[in-house]
Amino acid sequence: MADTVPHLKLTYEGARKMLAASVAKAEAMGVPQCIAIVDDGANLLAFARMDGAKFLSIDSAWRKAMSAASSRAATGGMAEGLDIRLAIATQGKLVNVKGGVPIVVDGKTIGAIGVGSGTGDQDLEVAKAGLAALAGAKTDF
C-alpha cells in the first residue's frame, strides 16, 4: 500500500466561481440565500449572505456544507432518528436538511456547498447551480 496518494484540491478561485453562480441563481429565483463553500476538511473557502437572507441561515448553510463534505453525500436523505443521534454526537455539526451537496470531481470529494434561507428545494437548486460552475463537478444530486 502506498504512503501517499494524489489529492485534488478545491481552490479559492473554484469556490469563487461557484459562489458567483449560486448568487446569480438565487437572484434569478428572487430568493436571498446564505451560501457556504468548504474544502474537503470543511474549512470555509467562500461565503455570502445576500441582502435579505435569514441571519440564522449563516450557521445552517455552513453546517450543510460541513455535513455534505464529511458524509460525501447530499444532505436531507438520512434516516429519521439516525440524523438526531449523529447531530448530538457531533455537537450539532451534522445536519440532515436539504441544501448541502458534496463537490465531487473525478470521483473524489474535494469539498461541499451548503445553501440556506429558502425552502429545502430552493436551497438545493441554488447549490446545484454552484456545482455547475465548476468544471468537471458532478451535478446529479
Angle value at C-alpha 55, between 53 and 58, nearest 5 degrees: 90
All 3 cell numbers of residue 103?
A: 463537490
3-state class of 25 per DSSP?
Answer: helix
Q: What is the pLDDT of residue 6?
A: 85
Q: What is the pLDDT of residue 5?
A: 86
Give per-residue burial for 55-88: e unless 16+ CB within 10 Å, then b: eebbebbbbbbbbbbbbebbbbebeeeebeebbe
Tens-digit pLDDT string for the chain (141 aa):
899 988 999 999 999 999 999 999 999 999 999 999 999 999 999 999 999 999 999 999 999 999 999 999 999 999 989 999 999 999 989 999 999 999 999 999 999 999 999 999 999 999 999 999 999 999 998
**DSSP assigned state of 98:** S
What span, in angstroms and rounded, lies between the C-alpha atoms of 13 and 16?
5
3-state class of 22 per DSSP?
Answer: helix
**Domains in the chain: ranges and CATH:** 12-132 (3.30.450.150)
